Structure 1
Amino acid sequence: MGARRKNTFTTFLSDVIDDSKALVDDLIDRAQEFEEKTRDAATSALGDEDSSSPSADEVAGLKCALSELTEKVDRLAAVKAGAK
């Protein structure tokens, strides 16, 4: 059998902080992706004189990115609320 990890308050706190860091990093990555997709959609919509709106694929991509970002923010809020 392997050695058991001691469950101390500092270990718990360290795990929460590490998970929070990972979540924030993921949120930043998702926000950057969302920003890039938004910029691409806006450029495409403004640059295409034949079309006055973004394509259905672009809108679906933006909705998906926004949904994922919202989920991450909700998870971060829950982690922070639990750490208080």
Structure 2
Amino acid sequence: MRLFLPVLLVTLALCCCETNAATCPAVATDIASFFLLPDSLFKLQLIKYQAPPEAKDATMQVKQCINEISAGDRYIITETLGKIVLQCGA
């Protein structure tokens, strides 16, 4: 639960800034994948960004921290982020 508040605040900052409230659907999909997909599938999704290995390793380290949150809580976080995206995009 310690990670819930910072993730929510960062998402609010990214999605609901005054200059651009519309969120790209791909960003919303990537955020949901980060929370819900298993590591093996998420690694396949990272390939499309062609990021350097250090960036991929850092992302997977953060994903390991996210994986420590219970599956139910991760689903709730993802559902909340979806509501934020819908409200901010309106």
- Please classify the TM superposition score into its range, dividing by the shorter chain length: 0.3 to 0.5
- After TM superposition, the score normalised by the length of structure 1 is 0.38
- After TM superposition, the score normalised by the length of structure 2 is 0.36
Asked which structure has the greater RCO (Cα within 8 Å, sep 6+), the reply is 2
